[in-house]
Amino acid sequence: MWNTARAKLHRLSASTFRTELWVLNIHEPTHTKTQGMSGLADYLAKNYLTADSDKKSKKRKRKNKDAGLIIDDDDNLGWKEKADGDDDDDAPMIVGGGTLKKSKKKSKGTGAAIWTSVGVAAPSHAEQLAADAAAADAIIAGTAAERQKEAEAEDEAPEMVDADGVLRMGSGAKAGLQSAAEVAAAIKKKQDEEKREAEQVMKKMGSAAQETIYRDASGRIINVAKKRAEAQQKAEEEERKKREKEKAARGDVQNAEAERRKQQLKDAKTMTIARYADDAELNDELKERGHWNDPASGFLRKKKAGRSITGKPLYQGPFQPNRYNIRPGHRWDGIDRGNGFEKQWFNSRNRKADIQKLEYQWQQDE
């Protein structure tokens, strides 16, 4: 306290302090030195000092920022304590029982004496064994009674006998010796009956057996069968256009050959495997084939008409051969406007054949 007084006295100006002391010396009696010092201390403490308060400031309770935080993993694992309002349907329910009372007097012995039992007391070991044996006997007796009832019902059930008094199997066929036609007829009859029964059941069900209704985004009903037919028709149309495009890319001669082979396959269905010398169709086909080195072709009185496979007239004059053996049309003016590839192709093949022939001859000479 005196240190605080000194600090404040130093802050005062010198003149003010002298005036204060002069006033104090005038009004204060000087009979004792102790009383003067006590009055000065009281004056200074009253006007210039601040007394320490005995009241202690209360500590503020800091809020926990993690308050209310719930960890889902702990909840799922079952480590979180349940709140008071949580209901547990799976928890065992205790019916009846007494109240839990705690003795007012503390016992000097163990703490077990201050608790009272709640609910029904657990049965003894002998009672538990007797109850289990009785339950097992009841289950066995019930099972035996059910089996006996089933056996009696099976014995009393009538046999599946047809109207004509003949025993029938599960497929509907009669038992015993019979022909294949009779078995097939009996099975078909049984299937027709089952189908008829199924239709009757479907009619009884009514709207429950209706087909699923599909709708688009606007709510209109989509006809599934119609959509499937349209999709199939579209696929067939695309396939037809694809075939026509491939056919148009080929030439007329190739298309005619394809049609001829297709016709041959159709005729082969009724054709015999063996072909003899008196086969007129085969002879006509062989006669129509022309060979450039045929010596007897000049003796034929009937000449082939100068027409192509497509039926158009052909050029009758000489022409440059080609690898496809196609004759020019009747409107050709006789001028070769190609790049000479066909001639080079024939020369290359002839040269290769000549070299192979010469190599073989030289090997023989050696």
Write out pLDDT tens, residues 224-262.
888 899 999 999 999 999 999 988 888 887 888 888 889
Which residues have a Cβ under 8 Å from the Cβ of 257 and sit 6 or more positions away? 309
DSSP at 104 = S
Separation between Cα atoms, residue 164 and residue 278, nearest integer Å? 65
The pLDDT value given to residue 29: 47
Domains of the chain, by residue range, sit at: 2-47, 179-205
DSSP at 208 = G
Local confidence band at 339 (pLDDT 50, 70, 90 cut-offs): very high
Q: Find the angle CA(58)-CA(64)-CA(66) to the nearest 5 degrees.
A: 175
Q: Identify the weakest region by mean pLDDT among 79-93, 138-152, 182-196.
A: 79-93
The pLDDT value given to residue 269: 85
Separation between Cα atoms, residue 36 and residue 16, nearest integer Å? 20
Task: Report which of residues 170 and 220 the model is more confident about.
Answer: 220
Task: Report which of residues 263 and 364 the model is more confident about.
Answer: 263
The pLDDT value given to residue 345: 94
Which residues have a Cβ under 8 Å from the Cβ of 200 and sit 6 or more positions away? none
Q: Identify the weakest region by mean pLDDT among 199-208, 283-292, 349-358.
A: 199-208
Q: Looking at the predicted structure, is the pLDDT value of residue 132 above 50?
A: yes
The pLDDT value given to residue 294: 82
Relative to beta strand 214-215, strand 221-222 is antiparallel
Q: What pTM was computed for the model?
A: 0.29
Local confidence band at 221 (pLDDT 50, 70, 90 cut-offs): confident
Q: Looking at the predicted structure, is the pLDDT value of residue 27 above 50?
A: no
Q: Where are the alpha helices (DSSP H) in the chain?
A: 2-11, 14-27, 33-47, 72-77, 125-156, 180-205, 224-249, 252-267, 280-288, 341-365
Mean pLDDT of the chain: 74
Q: Looking at the predicted structure, is the pLDDT value of residue 95 above 60?
A: no
Q: Looking at the predicted structure, is the pLDDT value of residue 37 above 90?
A: no
Q: What are phi and psi of 107, to 5 degrees?
A: -85, 150
Which range scores top for mean pLDDT: 1-10, 81-90, 282-291, 338-347?
338-347
* Cβ atoms within 10 Å of 186's Cβ, excluding its own: 19
The pLDDT value given to residue 80: 54
- The proportion of the chain whose per-residue pLDDT surpasses 70, expressed as a percent, equals 62
The pLDDT value given to residue 10: 53
Q: Looking at the predicted structure, is the pLDDT value of residue 117 above 70?
A: no
The pLDDT value given to residue 59: 66
